[in-house]
């Protein structure tokens, strides 16, 4: 197995991570630091620190120390110019006195200067670049279990077996390639326990699976890399009745000058390299530690063939020497040369997840750790995460230059001290000002040292100082995993294929695909409707069937017009308002017979209107059934002077105005399909809206087009329809109206019946009828060239006084026409306003009449 | 926000299946005073604690439900069908 690293081939053994394979190949520098570009080597080998972040196959910030190596992968270093070994920007560290924490806030205070400097700072400081990664596929999965255990160490495996013995379903998520936790490198084999877990059928073990957050309702966010061929990552939403946090403890660095040099390594990292990967971490080591842990490391180092030059108690360590890599450890009793300093640092219970669940983090002097208390019901913490860690001794952080508290963003104890002196003496403000605990490690490496420095400088205790808040996601998650697969639902009308064959240009309307136009010329489609006949697919209209003896009562209560007195076979415009008198939706309501009404809603508001009707039915005791029949019907509108001749060829229904007048409806066959026909006229011509069973709609559409050929009929799209309706000054709710529009302002007051008994919005509408808002929606004709964009400003006496909501060039008027909001005083026939067209105010004339056929005679022919 | 709502029809379901319908309020009588109507239309308690709310199970049974929720913890204490309400 080989992968490429910076252009050269690196061999990997089974069980290797990228970092262990690189270490075996002699690589010692794994990254360059954020600000000073100091070389950094392996520190934690546990996926907790920022030192080994690299770009793997185009994905930045991959924790290479815990990511299993894959054959053929392409691995690149980050934030180094030109290479990890020779990074020219490392010169920055010699100017660190110029750049203490927060220096750019104080230096580049002028906005213009900041604008110039910011891109340069961003280029130099950084954590890799987001790649386009077009080949990466991300998935989401959902799982449920009775008990979820995070961590497959001793505590986690034991908790899982206990739950399984109680008869519960268990899921264990562990972020390491193999289960066992610290037993994998501490020589306390957990093989028996692992075997027992593996042979228990009610336990599911998810290995290499990172838990990044515990959310409300015991929802766990897990990321599983490469769940199967073809998927880069899978985000699992795991819901559990009970969560056991068994995430163990991790080791953190000691504070001493040059504690970030390559070759300074945590003792657990050294043990992992030796026991899990068979690597000698160095040739000549010094141990900064004492007691049992130092002895354990000492034994392991000697066993691996590493000479141990000295074991120094942390309080006696003065610093590390070396430029880039360690050459010696400086102690109170003199310097000792070495190429490896193994640090036995404080063990921190990994209880961030418990804090996310709402636990309080309380300082315990023994063992010298913040431990979780007051856990919510359903969440428990087990093992080292609960504070069951060995006492690591009280270490007072050594001061001095280049003692790095935060490795992620290069914050030293000196930076912290200065920030505290400047007044940022609370751990939370200190965090925000210095950015310590805010880097990719999210405070895991630095939280304890930051609290210790803060406590020492302020003279407060650790308990009083406290820790910063733990928030998910921790560790970081790729945006791709969170975003998941690119699924966008698409709704197609029953006539979709027919439109495709006609060369439709598509537009999106919510989830729907609608033909915007068919040919290059919207004018041709317009002329077909005005002069001959046109056919448009209106299947996307919301369609509701409202049935029952009390259906009329419900519609009277909810809509502004009266519908209980609507005669069977008649259609009425329907306006829906809320209790504040704001227009929510409009459409038509047809009474098919005594107890059956058929409602159309606008395309986007169907679900809302349906829920609104349902809600208003609650508690009334009325006998009404509301059914959404939108998908059950295809709908089309045939309109134009020859529409009657055309439709007459396909139906036996008498279409004469005497038998089938404007605003009436019939149930009848069209081209053999049982249909509902509404004689209405959105586009201002004689026309019928035909609702026909979805499975027959394409056939009806095709037959209508064939029947229309002799009359020169043509299909028309949404754009022509918008122009045709604008000439009729018909309002589109949500385009020409907004979230405050009352019917009296939009010129729709005629659709409100204040004389009927109580209905939704009556109280507010009664008031609005007397005292409408200061603006009115009016029509206008532009007295000059050009067509203003929708949204252009209305100008009165040089000041903005309103806005255009819809505007098109009208072939009928040979001018730009539109709808606009203007002050009430200008809402008069013939009033003069100005509209800003590309920055220039152009005169326009207000009208309250339709631009086309103001008497509506063509509709009624 | 990822709490569960115990729908009387569908059981424990993710809140993402539901549409929030606002605080449960009593509509004033048609001839009630203006202040009462304004309060009904525009004023919300936004309680820090338990309150009764409307929820619509959009991706489930498509029923309007009422629920008592603690807004501090997002715990839904109970959830019921409004038609089963005792006056």
Tell whether domain A253-345 is in CATH 3.50.50.60. Answer: yes
CB contact under 8 Å between B3 and A216, yes or no, is yes
Measured in whole angstroms, the distance separating CA A356 from the mean position of its chain's CA atoms is 20
* Smallest Cα distance from B65 to chain A, Å: 10
State both tokens at A786: 């050009």
Instruction: Write down the pLDDT at residue B64.
Output: 97
Inform me whether the C-beta atom of residue A377 falls under 8 Å from chain B C-beta atoms.
no
Instruction: Write down the pLDDT at residue A437.
Output: 87
Rounded CA gap, A224 and A232, in Å?
9
Residue-wise pLDDT for A713-760, tens only, equals 999 999 999 999 999 999 999 999 999 999 999 999 999 999 999 999
CB contact under 8 Å between A216 and B2, yes or no, is yes
Q: Which residue of A has its CA nearest to B65?
A: A615
CB contact under 8 Å between B64 and A580, yes or no, is no
Interface test mutation site (partner B, options A145, A216, A624, max chain B beta carbons within 10 A): A216
Q: How far is CA A6 from CA A240, A386, A562, in A?
A: 43, 42, 76
Rounded CA gap, A130 and A480, in Å?
11
Helix (H) or strand (E) run with residue A171 in it: strand A170-174
Inform me whether the C-beta atom of residue A607 falls under 8 Å from chain B C-beta atoms.
yes
Q: How far is CA A60 from CA A4, A34, A128, A402, A476, in A?
A: 16, 14, 6, 27, 11
CB contact under 8 Å between A217 and B83, yes or no, is no
Residue whose C-alpha is closest to residue A859's, from A740, A657, A684: A684
CB-CB contact of A601 with A645 (8 Å): no
Please report which confidence band the pLDDT of residue A329 belongs to, taking 50, 70 and 90 as the band edges.
very high
Q: Which residue of A has its CA nearest to B2?
A: A216
Instruction: Write down the pLDDT at residue A388.
Output: 85
Residue-wise pLDDT for A413-439, tens only, equals 999 999 999 999 999 999 999 988 888
Residue A135: pLDDT above 80? no
Whether A253-345 and A774-861 share one fold: the answer is no
Inform me whether the C-beta atom of residue A614 falls under 8 Å from chain B C-beta atoms.
yes
Average pLDDT, chain A: 92
Of the ranges A75-84, A272-281, A555-564, A824-833, which one carries the lowest mean pLDDT score? A75-84
Residue B24: pLDDT above 50? yes
* Smallest Cα distance from B46 to chain A, Å: 20
Of the ranges A111-120, A452-461, A481-490, A631-640, which one carries the lowest mean pLDDT score? A111-120
CB pairs A-B closer than 8 Å: 41
Side-chain-side CA neighbours of A480 within 13 Å: the count stands at 19
Residue with tokens 């005497």: A658
What is the fold of A542-629+742-761?
A: Alpha-Beta Plaits (3.30.70)
What is the fold of A488-541+632-730?
A: Gyrase A; domain 2 (3.30.1360)
* Smallest Cα distance from A157 to chain B, Å: 27
b/e string for A58-88 if b means 16 or more Cβ within 10 A?
bbbbbbbbbbbbeeebebbbbbbeeebeebe
What does the pLDDT average to over A395-412? 80
CB-CB contact of A132 with A479 (8 Å): no
Q: What is the pTM for the complete model shown?
A: 0.86
Residue A519: pLDDT above 50? yes
Chain B positions touching chain A (beta carbons under 8 Å)? 1-4, 14-15, 19, 21, 27, 30, 37, 40-42, 54, 56, 58, 64, 74, 82-83, 85
Instruction: Name the A residues in 558-597 with CB < 8 Å from any B CB.
Output: 579-580
Instruction: Write down the pLDDT at residue B60.
Output: 96
Rounded CA gap, A337 and A285, in Å?
9
Using CB atoms, which residue from A579, A618, A763 is nearest to B64? A618
Of the ranges A130-144, A511-525, A563-577, B41-55, which one carries the lowest mean pLDDT score? A130-144
Residue-wise pLDDT for A16-57, tens only, equals 999 999 999 999 999 988 888 899 999 999 999 999 999 998
Q: Which residue of A has its CA nearest to B76?
A: A217
Residue A79: pLDDT above 90? no
Task: Give the range of the structural domain holding residue B35, as residue numbers without chain letter.
Answer: 4-84
Domains contained in chain B, number: 1
Residues 6 or more apart from A295 whose CB is under 8 A from it? none
What does the pLDDT average to over A157-164? 97
Residue A686: pLDDT above 70? yes
Residue A93: pLDDT above 80? no
Of the ranges A122-126, A596-600, B48-52, which one carries the lowest mean pLDDT score? A122-126
What does the pLDDT average to over A180-200? 90
**Positive or negative, the Cα torsion across A644, A645, A647, A649?**
positive
SS (H, E, C) B38-84: HHHHHCCCCCCCEEEEEEECCCCCCCEEEEEEECCCCEEEEEECHHH
Please report which confidence band the pLDDT of residue A137 belongs to, taking 50, 70 and 90 as the band edges.
confident
Instruction: Write down the pLDDT at residue A471.
Output: 86
What does the pLDDT average to over A334-345? 96
Residues 6 or more apart from A345 whose CB is under 8 A from it? A251, A252, A253, A254, A266, A267, A392
Q: How far is CA A622 from CA A589, A617, B84, in A?
A: 19, 7, 15
Instruction: Name the A residues in 220-249 with CB < 8 Å from any B CB.
Output: 239
Using CB atoms, which residue from A217, A580, A763 is nearest to B2? A217
Instruction: Write down the pLDDT at residue A398.
Output: 62
What is the fold of A135-250+347-393?
A: FAD/NAD(P)-binding domain (3.50.50)
* Smallest Cα distance from B75 to chain A, Å: 8
State both tokens at A323: 């430029």
Whether ipTM exceeds 0.90: yes
Residue A197: pLDDT above 60? yes
State both tokens at A661: 């007048």
What does the pLDDT average to over A829-849? 95
Instruction: Write down the pLDDT at residue A396.
Output: 60
Please report which confidence band the pLDDT of residue B86 belongs to, taking 50, 70 and 90 as the band edges.
low
CATH value at residue B17? 3.30.2270.10
What is the fold of A2-94?
A: Ubiquitin-like (UB roll) (3.10.20)
Please report which confidence band the pLDDT of residue A550 belongs to, taking 50, 70 and 90 as the band edges.
very high
Instruction: Write down the pLDDT at residue A90.
Output: 74
Beta bridge partners, A800, equal: A795
Residue-wise pLDDT for A438-495, tens only, equals 888 888 999 899 999 999 999 999 999 998 888 888 888 888 899 988 788 899 999 9
Instruction: Write down the pLDDT at residue B29.
Output: 95
Going edge to edge, which strands form the sheet with A284-288?
A: A264-266, A340-343, A284-288, A307-312
Residue A399: pLDDT above 70? no
CB contact under 8 Å between B74 and A216, yes or no, is yes
Instruction: Write down the pLDDT at residue B87.
Output: 45
Instruction: Write down the pLDDT at residue A392.
Output: 63
Report chain B residues whose CB lies below 8 A from the CB of A770: none
CB contact under 8 Å between B3 and A217, yes or no, is yes
Report chain B residues whose CB lies below 8 A from the CB of A618: 64, 82-83
Instruction: Write down the pLDDT at residue A673.
Output: 97
Interface test mutation site (partner B, options A618, A625, A754, A765, max chain B beta carbons within 10 A): A618
Residue A140: pLDDT above 90? yes
Q: How far is CA A439 from CA A443, A556, A615, in A?
A: 7, 60, 49
What is the fold of A395-486?
A: Arc Repressor Mutant, subunit A (1.10.10)
Q: Which residue of A has its CA nearest to B6?
A: A217
What does the pLDDT average to over A350-374? 91
Residue-wise pLDDT for A208-261, tens only, equals 899 999 999 999 999 998 888 888 899 999 999 999 999 999 999 999 999 999
* Smallest Cα distance from A216 to chain B, Å: 5
Please report which confidence band the pLDDT of residue A772 belongs to, taking 50, 70 and 90 as the band edges.
confident
* Smallest Cα distance from B1 to chain A, Å: 6
CB contact under 8 Å between B56 and A219, yes or no, is no
Q: Which residue of A has its CA nearest to B3?
A: A217
Residue A295: pLDDT above 90? yes
What does the pLDDT average to over A109-114? 78
Please report which confidence band the pLDDT of residue B4 belongs to, taking 50, 70 and 90 as the band edges.
very high
Residue whose C-alpha is closest to residue A666's, from A685, A647, A682: A647
CB atoms within 10 A of CB A314: 23
**Cα radius of gyration rounded to whole Å, chain A:** 37
Instruction: Write down the pLDDT at residue A394.
Output: 59
Rounded CA gap, A559 and A567, in Å?
17
CATH superfamily of A774-861: Aminomethyltransferase beta-barrel domains (2.40.30.110)
Residue whose C-alpha is closest to residue A380's, from A143, A159, A194: A159
Query: pLDDT above 70 covers what percent of chain A?
Result: 98
Instruction: Write down the pLDDT at residue A832.
Output: 96
Domain ranges in chain A are: 2-94, 135-250+347-393, 253-345, 395-486, 488-541+632-730, 542-629+742-761, 774-861
Report chain A residues whose CB lies below 8 A from the CB of B39: none
CB-CB contact of A255 with A276 (8 Å): no
Rounded CA gap, A509 and A515, in Å?
10
CB atoms within 10 A of CB A416: 28
Instruction: Write down the pLDDT at residue A630.
Output: 97
Q: Which residue of B has its CA nearest to A763?
A: B30
**Cα radius of gyration rounded to whole Å, chain B:** 14
b/e string for A332-355 if b means 16 or more Cβ within 10 A?
eeebbebbbbbbbbbbbbbbbbbb
């Amino acid at each position: 197995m080989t992968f490429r690293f910076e252009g050269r081939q690196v061999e990997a053994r089974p069980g290797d991570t990228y970092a262990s394979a690189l270490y075996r190949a002699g690589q010692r520098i794994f990254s360059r630091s954020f600000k000073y570009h100091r070389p950094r080597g392996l520190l934690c080998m546990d996926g907790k620190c920022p030192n080994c972040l690299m770009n793997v196959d185009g994905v930045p910030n991959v924790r290479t120390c815990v990511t299993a190596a894959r054959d053929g992968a392409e691995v690149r270093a980050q934030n180094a110019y030109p290479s990890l070994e020779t990074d020219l920007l490392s010169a920055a560290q010699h100017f660190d006195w110029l750049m203490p924490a927060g220096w750019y806030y104080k230096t580049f205070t002028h906005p213009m200067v900041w604008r110039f400097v910011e891109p340069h700072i961003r280029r130099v400081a950084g954590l890799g670049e987001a790649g386009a990664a077009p080949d990466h596929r991300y998935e989401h999965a959902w799982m449920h279990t009775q008990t979820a255990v995070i961590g497959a160490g001793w505590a986690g495996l034991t908790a899982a077996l206990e739950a399984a013995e109680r008869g519960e379903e268990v899921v264990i998520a562990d972020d390491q390639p193999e289960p066992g936790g610290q037993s994998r490198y501490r020589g306390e084999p957990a093989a028996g326990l692992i075997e027992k877990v593996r042979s228990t059928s009610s336990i599911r073990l998810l290995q290499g699976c990172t838990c990044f957050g515990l959310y409300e309702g015991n929802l766990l966010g897990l990321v599983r890399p490469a769940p199967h061929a073809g998927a880069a990552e899978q985000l699992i939403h795991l819901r559990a009745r009970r969560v056991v946090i068994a995430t163990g403890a991790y080791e953190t660095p000691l504070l001493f000058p040059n504690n970030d040099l390559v070759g300074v390594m945590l003792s657990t990292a050294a043990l992992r390299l030796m026991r899990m990967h068979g690597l000698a971490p160095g040739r000549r080591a010094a141990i900064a530690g004492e007691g049992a842990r130092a002895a354990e490391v000492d034994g392991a180092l000697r066993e691996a063939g590493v000479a141990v030059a000295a074991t120094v108690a942390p309080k006696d360590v003065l610093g590390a020497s070396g430029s880039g890599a360690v050459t010696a450890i400086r102690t109170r009793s003199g310097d000792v040369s070495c190429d490896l300093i193994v640090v036995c640092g404080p063990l921190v219970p990994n209880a961030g997840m418990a804090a996310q669940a709402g636990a309080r983090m309380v300082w315990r002097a023994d063992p010298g750790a913040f431990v979780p208390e007051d856990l919510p019901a359903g969440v428990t913490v087990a093992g080292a995460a609960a504070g069951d860690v060995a006492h690591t001794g009280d270490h007072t952080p050594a001061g001095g230059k280049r003692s790095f508290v935060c490795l992620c963003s290069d914050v030293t104890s000196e930076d912290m001290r200065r920030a505290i002196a400047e007044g940022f003496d609370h751990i939370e403000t200190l965090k925000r000002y210095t950015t310590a605990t805010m880097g990719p490690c999210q405070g895991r490496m630095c939280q304890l040292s930051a609290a210790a420095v803060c406590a020492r400088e302020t003279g407060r205790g650790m308990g009083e100082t406290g820790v910063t808040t733990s928030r998910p996601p921790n560790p970081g998650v790729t945006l791709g995993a969170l975003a998941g697969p690119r699924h966008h639902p698409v709704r197609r009308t029953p006539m979709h294929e027919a439109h495709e064959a006609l060369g439709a240009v598509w537009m999106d309307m919510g989830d729907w695909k609608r033909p915007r136009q068919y040919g290059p010329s919207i004018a041709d489609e317009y002329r077909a409707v005005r002069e001959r006949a046109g056919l448009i697919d209106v299947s996307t209209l919301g369609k509701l069937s409202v049935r029952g003896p009390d259906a009329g009562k419900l519609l009277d209560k909810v809509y502004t017009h009266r519908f209980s007195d609507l005669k069977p076979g008649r259609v009425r415009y329907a306006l829906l308002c809320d209790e504040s008198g704001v227009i929510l939706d409009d459409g038509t309501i047809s009474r098919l017979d005594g107890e059956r009404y058929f409602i159309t809603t606008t395309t986007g508001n169907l679900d809302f209107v349906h829920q609104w009707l349902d809600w208003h039915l609650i508690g009334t005791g009325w006998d009404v059934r509301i059914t959404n029949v939108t998908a059950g019907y295809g709908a089309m509108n045939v309109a134009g002077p020859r529409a009657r001749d055309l439709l007459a060829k396909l139906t036996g229904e008498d279409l004469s105005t005497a038998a089938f007048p404007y605003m009436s409806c019939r149930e009848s066959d069209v081209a053999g399909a049982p249909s509902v026909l509404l004689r209405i006229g959105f586009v201002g011509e004689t026309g019928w809206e035909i609702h026909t069973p979805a499975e027959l709609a394409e056939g009806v559409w095709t037959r209508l087009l064939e029947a229309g050929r002799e009359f020169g009929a043509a299909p028309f799209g949404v754009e022509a329809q918008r122009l045709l309706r604008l000439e009729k000054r018909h309002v589109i709710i949500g385009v020409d109206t907004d979230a405050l529009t009352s019917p009296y302002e939009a010129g729709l007051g005629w659709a409100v019946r204040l004389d009927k008994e109580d209905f939704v919005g009556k109280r507010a509408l009664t008031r609005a009828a007397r005292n409408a808002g200061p603006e009115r929606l009016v029509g206008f004709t532009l007295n000059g060239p050009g067509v203003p964009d929708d949204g252009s400003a209305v100008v009165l006496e040089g000041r903005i006084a309103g806005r255009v909501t819809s505007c098109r060039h009208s072939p009928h008027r040979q001018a730009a026409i539109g709808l606009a909001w203007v002050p009430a005083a200008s809402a008069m026939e013939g009033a003069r306003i100005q509209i800003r067209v590309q920055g220039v105010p152009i005169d326009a004339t207000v009208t309250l009449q339709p631009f086309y056929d103001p008497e509506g005679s063509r509709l009624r022919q | 926000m990822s709490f569960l709502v115990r729908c009387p029809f569908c059981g424990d379901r993710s809140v993402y299946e539901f549409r929030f319908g606002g605080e449960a309020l009593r509509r004033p009588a048609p001839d009630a005073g203006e202040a009462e109507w304004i309060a009904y239309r525009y004023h919300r308690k936004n309680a820090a604690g338990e309150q009764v709310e409307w929820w619509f199970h959009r991706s489930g049974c498509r029923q309007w439900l009422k629920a008592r929720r603690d807004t501090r913890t997002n715990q839904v204490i109970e959830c019921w069908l409004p038609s089963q309400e005792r006056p």
